[in-house]
Amino acid sequence: MNPKDPKSQPINPEHSAIPPQAQTIALGIEFNGSNYRGWQRQQAGVASVQEELEKAISRVANHQVTLQGAGRTDAGVHASNMVAHFCSPSERTQHQWLRGINTWLPNDIAVRWVKNMDPQFHARFKANARRYHYVCSVQNHPSALMSGMVTCINQAVDVSLMQEAADLIVGEHDFSSFRAAACQAPSPIKRIEFARFSAQGSLVVLDIKANGFLHHMVRNLMGTFLKVGQGELKPSCVSEILLAKDRTLAPATAPPDGLYFVNAYYPAKFELPEMSIGPLWLNNH
């Protein structure tokens, strides 16, 4: 039996339900989303990050586990510190959970930390902000080493113009113009805390934090910022597109490759671990 293949050993059917008095346990997760159709569990036969984690955790817990994540990512999108939680009455130390879960996970998913939580904690509903990075590599040829991990663009961009455009979305706005048609959020109004661009060698990074994001919102914003950086749109066009509340007026959605869910933020009382922010191979910025 191969411990790296969760299908090789069945879960004990006598432990399929969660008894009362279950402990709430939070996780910090990093993953390369290239081989998955996103975070959320899909129909049978479609790979998802959530399903892989649930299978691994269930092995260690010895009962079926349902995992709740702080957010949902699209196919091909990555994470450096996705926060999630599950409930279990099984008695394990934090180290046993951490080591055991990672034993059963594929190599492109890893748990960074585990913490026993107050029963009131919920990874999705208690989060008061979320943060993403979008990473581009500006070069005249594709990158073999960073394939699938960054968005490669072969035209130089003016980062100062992109920052000028990004400054216009800070604050509370109706982001209907940057919302996917399939978005199920009850309101298009979100509050952006900051949207900052930085350049690191050939890499251009957008660091953005908000109280919430719409479906494809970061990728749609990045598609517009790239057009500004390449001189095809003026920075002021971002305000015009925002006010129009019309998705057809904004440029095409940027690819998923360069997008990273980097953190979720919670009230201080939960005392979650402070982790490095962003893709671990990037310098802090």
CB 187 within 8 A of CB 173: no
Distance spanning both ends of the chain, measured CA to CA: 44
Q: Give the Cα-Cα-Cα angle 273, 275, 280 (nearest 5 degrees).
A: 155
What residues act catalytically? Answer: 74
Tokens standing for residue 140? 């005249």
Tokens standing for residue 17? 């339900």
Q: What is the DSSP letter of 272?
A: P
Q: What is the DSSP letter of 176?
A: G
The count of C-alpha atoms lying within 13 angstroms of the C-alpha of 163, restricted to the half-sphere facing its C-beta, is: 9
Residue of 25, 26, 28 whose CA lies nearest to 82: 28
277 in the Ramachandran plot: left (φ > 0), alpha (ψ -120 to 50) or beta? beta
Tokens standing for residue 66? 């349902």
Q: Per-residue b/e over 145-162, b at no fewer than 16 CB within 10 Å?
A: ebebbbbbbeeebebebb
CB 111 within 8 A of CB 99: no
Give, for 130, the enclosing helix (H) or strand (E): strand 129-138
- In terms of DSSP bridges, do strands 259-265 and 78-88 run parallel, antiparallel, or are they unpaired? parallel
